Chain A
Amino acid sequence: MNAIYKNVLGGKQGAIGLALLAALIFLVLPMFLDIFRLNLVGKYLTYAFAAVSLVMLWGYGGILSLGQGVFFGLGGYCMAMFLKLEASSPENTAIQSTPGIPDFMDWNQLTQIPWFWEPFNSFGFTLFAVIAVPGLLAYIIGVAMFKRRVGGVYFSIITQAVAAILTILIVGQQGLTGGINGITDLKTLHGWDIRTDSAKLFLYYLNGALLIGVILLSRFILSSKLGRLMLAMRDKEDRVRFSGYDVSNFKIFMFCTAAAISAIGGAMFTLQVGFMSPSFVGIVPSIEMVIFAAVGGRMSLIGAVYGALIVNYGKTVFSETFPELWLFLMGGLFIAVVMFFPNGLAGLYEKHGKPALGKLIARLRKPPPLEPMGNVDVTPVREAA
């Protein structure tokens, strides 16, 4: 029991940080936001899955994937395919030349459902595929790259190429994938309408619970010997090899785990937003995910969640006012984080927030106010030498 407390929750401070995050997601936000805005927050939180996966992969493992959008997108597409098939019942699509197939297939003169769509009639298979399809792709990329000791910047470039390739593939195969528009008009899940307010509220809570679960899982992995080994590998890969470990297997495992986590986020995105399109797969969204992790703090699982929330909130606000400027602002933000606060918000908190909070507590001798920015993962921030 004690070991669980220490390893999964991260001790007292980790438990407090997690409790504050849970309170924010489950109580504070639903209390103050209407369902439209809450749904928006739910969408931001699906990106947090990708950001959390990058903390593990990039922050701890030193493996910078610029293609997390691929796995986020694949998870989302798997879910969207199931929902689309359900939304394309013969009654709903009676006006098509071939009723009973998704509308975009009909527009592209397809007359039957392609073979790889067939299994997505089963919800069980879909849930399996949400994890397995991105996991398998990550495994193939991982084996091809890490067994050949491709690493560092070369690996990043290749993941980016994969993101570009997948986007082009999806856009090009309009009849099979819905093309640039993506898979839209998703309606029900086993007859349960996902567009209603009550469904949106339920999905928001489910999303929050999954996110907390993923953070706990990540904490468990990082606090095991595997976590220490990842740090060791980031520092001295050769030494790990000469201590008798097959380094590539560990990298493959981390890459697959990160892919699966991102994919859960993607599937929840589809459910909450109601569609999936290639614009969540490509290079730009993949890099945005890295920025969420960097802003939140690449060594902090909880920081990554705040990073995703804040940057996305900023994006919504700014892109409404200055649509052209947003990408420049995003680039500037990334440069600023790398140059001035490399450990992100979590690092700032460790450096300034925590001492100030300590002083405040000492002065007031009472617990500090609930401050969403104030709770940060307690995993010690270990800088690369």
Chain B
Amino acid sequence: MSSETDFTLAIEDLTVSFDGFKAVDGLNLYIDRNELRVVIGPNGAGKTTVLDLICGKTKATGGSIKFKNKELTTLSEHQIVRAGVGRKFQTPSIYENLSVYENLEISYPANRGVWGCLAFKRTAEIDQRIREIAAEIFLQDALDMEAGLLSHGQKQWLEIGMLLIQDPELLMLDEPVAGMSVKEREQTAELLNRICKGRSVVVIEHDMEFVKNIAHKVTVLHQGKILAEGSMDKVQNDPKVIEVYLGH
């Protein structure tokens, strides 16, 4: 049904229903190479479900998700990750009882089989890459700290770092600034603007100030369907969007 495209991510006619309730309903969404797309929408619009579908956490009822023309709906989670898709969850999902260094080391994309793990050695190259990423996510001084002791904002950054170390071509972030202070938000916006170079990024966010700061293009979801799509200005002045989301 769907053809070859130039898009990094091409979602066509995607549908998922939970006991008859269509959380995502015939969705079409195209993400360009090197694009940073923000998805907004009221609660229950299906934003997180779309990310779940892309990364394989939820299986689609119908439709297709193509990443660089490779069908994702039939792959399992770890295969999708290995294909080059990274996902950050809404609540920071890190290994609390390992150090920051170990968190990044486990995320490093090498030796991911059982025997590979037994034979794994910390090489200078891996060590250097871990330190590079740590510097990028403002955690270079916390490498030996147990991840559970980080502040909420730092945990969010660590999870972003765990994705960055895999160098994914598509990065999906679910509410990356939730629970962050104003200063942390600014740092995160700067971080996102830096890391979106050379890859496509999809961000779900409620904070409109933050969205204005980073978005190239905004998609508004409502009841599992696309309500509006375009630049921030265009979307903000769309009467339908104001009606269901921004107006309240």
Residues of A within 8 A of B (CB): 221, 224-226, 228-229, 231-232, 235-236, 238-247, 249-250, 253, 382-385
Tier of interface size on chain B: 20 to 34
User: Considering only CB atoms, which chain B residue lies closest to A383 in the complex?
Assistant: B97
B78-A241 in contact (CB<8A): yes
Q: Inter-chain contact count A-B, CB under 8 Å?
A: 83
Contacts A236-B93, A249-B114 hold; do A242 and B148 have CB atoms under 8 A apart?
A: no
| A43–B113 alpha-carbon span in the complex (Å) | 37
Most chain A CB atoms below 10 A, which of B55, B76, B106: B106
Whether B120 pairs with A231 at a CB distance below 8 angstroms is: no
Q: Does the CB pair B78–A231 fall under 8 Å?
A: no
B102 in the interface (beta carbon within 8 A): yes
Q: Are B113 and A239 in contact (CB under 8 A)?
A: no
Question: In the complex the two chains form, is A225's CB within 8 Å of B97's CB?
Answer: no
Q: Which 4 A-B pairs have the closest CB atoms?
A: A244-B81, A225-B120, A226-B117, A232-B95
Contacts A228-B98, A236-B93, A385-B148 known; A243 to B118 CB distance under 8 Å?
A: no
**Residue in chain B with minimal CB distance to A241:** B77
Taken together as a complex, chains A and B put the C-alpha atoms of A244 and B106 apart, in Å, by: 10
Q: Can you spell out 27 A-B residue pairs with CB atoms less than 8 angstroms apart?
A: A224-B119, A224-B120, A225-B106, A225-B111, A225-B120, A226-B117, A226-B120, A231-B95, A232-B98, A232-B106, A235-B95, A236-B94, A238-B57, A239-B94, A241-B77, A242-B78, A242-B81, A242-B86, A243-B81, A244-B78, A244-B82, A245-B112, A246-B78, A247-B78, A249-B113, A249-B114, A383-B97
CB interface residues, B 71-120, toward A, < 8 Å? 76-78, 81-82, 86-87, 89, 93-98, 102, 105-107, 109, 111-114, 117-120
Contact B77 A242 (CB under 8 A): yes
Does B140 have its Cβ within 8 Å of any Cβ on chain A?
A: no
B241 CB–A CB distance under 8 Å: no
Cβ B109 vs Cβ A244 within 8 A: yes
Which residues on B sit within 8 Å (CB–CB) of A247?
78
